[in-house]
Amino acid sequence: MSKTPTNSPNLPANSLPDWGTLVPVLPGDGPRPKALYTAIRQLIETGAVPAGAKLPTTRDLARRFKLSRAAAIAAFETLVSEGFAEARVGAGTFVAREVPHLPREEFRTPAPDPATPAALPLTVGVTQSDPATARIFRRLMSRHLAHPAPEHFRYGDPRGSAELRQAVAAYLRSARGVRCEAHQIVITSGAQQGLDLLIRAAIRPGDAVWSEDPCYPMAHTALKGAGARVIGVPVDDEGLDPARGEALCPNARAVYVTPSHQFPLGVTMTMRRRMALLDWARRNDAWIIEDDYDSEFRYGGPPLTALQGMDGAGRVAYIGTFSKILFPGLRTGYLVAPEPLLNAILEVRARTDRYPATLTEAPLADLLNQGHFAAHLRRVRRRVQAARDVLVAALRDHGKDRLDIAAPEQGLHLVAKLLGRGRDTDIAAAAKAAGIGSRALSPMFIAAPPVQGLVLGFSAFGNEAVREAAIRLCTVIAQTA
């Protein structure tokens, strides 16, 4: 076990931190001493409570978190025995002056989902191809194959072709208010590679990174896999709360956010929170990784400008994808790199997969430049909005006593919160056995108290299939809950 002095604390030593702000609700359902121990240990390790600070009394903590006194004492005993805290007779318990580094549980990457031959109705994140766009894409691709330009058949630029980068930059400036030039764009293999490149360029193993809590699981996995210390920052009706993040870990290196449409909860981050997050990043030289995965699907008026477009300090790295608006098989996304990260990103890119597929870049650039993409957006948005309405109506009609549903103003999925006592993981498993796709909400929480619910996709199925699956899902819930 190694020991290091705790991070530079923001709170003066021996002050009593505001425990109500730091841990307002104990996370998880597990044993209470373990939950309290874990919460306090996280605060100590992240530097949110400084070395030498006096801990509240076990009586205070028991009262505040509605625990037995014995549970609080047991948590303190573990903290003391592991060297995170020191008990001083007659004076109380204090954060240790040097905090130990205990070996952490090894992070095992979960096996990726195998590709399913056909997604079950209500599966999240899948899309349906648009026949008119497929025809246009085929024509554009045939033209490039019939009149091959050498650059589409040879080794390419690690950033992607200049033509596609220019087209993407123009699109992002006008549709999302992103401030960018083509030289900052990197064409990626979907949003996931964009995230991976940014993590490798900006984050070192052991760095603290804020993440929305609950979080998009593939982002959480990418951060953990890179050795980041992921600090779950709770999401409420206004999105991620930077004040809570600052209380938990003021000097994190980066934050991962989906501000336009939080995945999974569907909240849009308010302007107040956006400004607070930008301000925190500027003050701490932290990076904001903005994942704008589905903002093309906005049903109630124009989308809010991307966070990147509001950032005057160059702290936001922006990620987008064609996986949702076109199709995931294209494996094409993009990132807009802040200038100081660009070289590091390109270095990682060049040594991992070198550059994106040059051949598919050409018809995609044509699709954007020739006005087909704008027409495609209008068609697909109308279709998906209709599917959303069908799903919401069917769930409200058939599951009204069991589900709490808000119709999302954006995106391809909704969250149906469970009102009864059933567990979302059991229901999702039973639904799958009945041929219905869904994802349990509760496993997407990191440290915040998990909410029981189902995440349901409506983007890839005909209206009748959506209605029929929703009705059957309500029957499964009634039988499982």
Ligand X SMILES: Cc1ncc(COP(=O)(O)O)c(C=O)c1O
Q: Please give the residue ranges that form the binding site for ligand X (CB under 6 A).
A: 125, 190-192, 216, 258, 263, 291, 293, 321, 323, 328, 333
Shortest distance in whole angstroms from residue 455 CB to ligand X: 10
Nearest partner of 195 among 263, 293, 107, judged by Cα: 293
Provide, rounded to whole angstroms, the least separation between the CB of residue 319 and ligand X: 7
- The distance of closest approach from Cβ of residue 454 to ligand X in the complex, given in angstroms and rounded to an integer, is 16
Q: What is the sign, positive or negative, of the torsion defined by CA atoms of 342, 344, 348, 351?
A: positive
Strand order across the beta sheet in which 208-213 lies: 185-188, 333-336, 316-321, 287-291, 254-257, 208-213, 229-236, 239-240
With respect to ligand X, which residue has the nearer C-beta, 263 or 287? 263
Nearer to ligand X, 192 or 358 (CB): 192
Q: Which is nearer to ligand X, 248 or 257 (CB)?
A: 257
How far apart are alpha carbons 413 and 263 in whole angstroms? 9
d(CA 46, CA 181): 37
Contact 278, 245 (CB under 8 A): no
Q: How far is the CB of 294 from ligand X (least distance, A)?
A: 7
Least distance from C-beta 469 to ligand X, angstroms?
19
Q: Could you tell me the smallest distance in angstroms from the CB atom of residue 175 to ligand X?
A: 17
Q: Which is nearer to ligand X, 187 or 392 (CB)?
A: 187
Q: Which residue is nearest to ligand X (CB)?
A: 190
Q: Is the dihedral of CA 322, 326, 327, 331 positive or negative?
A: negative
By beta-carbon proximity to ligand X, the closer residue of 43 and 198 is: 198
DSSP secondary structure code for residue 186 in this structure: E
Q: What are the angstrom distances between the C-alpha of 399 and each of 160, 428, 476?
A: 47, 15, 10
Judged on CB neighbours under 10 Å (0-12, 13-18, 19+), 250 is buried
Nearer to ligand X, 89 or 115 (CB): 115
Reading phi first (left if > 0) and then psi (alpha if -120 to 50, else beta), residue 92 is in left
CA distance 125 to 5: 44
Question: Which candidate, 465, 197, 200, places its Cα nearest to that of 319?
Answer: 197
Least separation in angstroms between CB 162 and ligand X: 22
The residue among 38 and 192 lying less far from ligand X, judged by its C-beta, is 192
Pairing of strands 208-213, 229-236: parallel
User: Token pair for residue 66?
Assistant: 């509605």
CB of 154 to ligand X, least distance (A): 26
Toward ligand X, which CB reaches closer, 303 or 422?
Answer: 303
Instruction: Of 156, 245, 250, 256, give the one whose Cα is nearest residue 198.
Output: 256
Closest CA to 211 of 253, 178, 176: 253
Nearer to ligand X, 42 or 192 (CB): 192
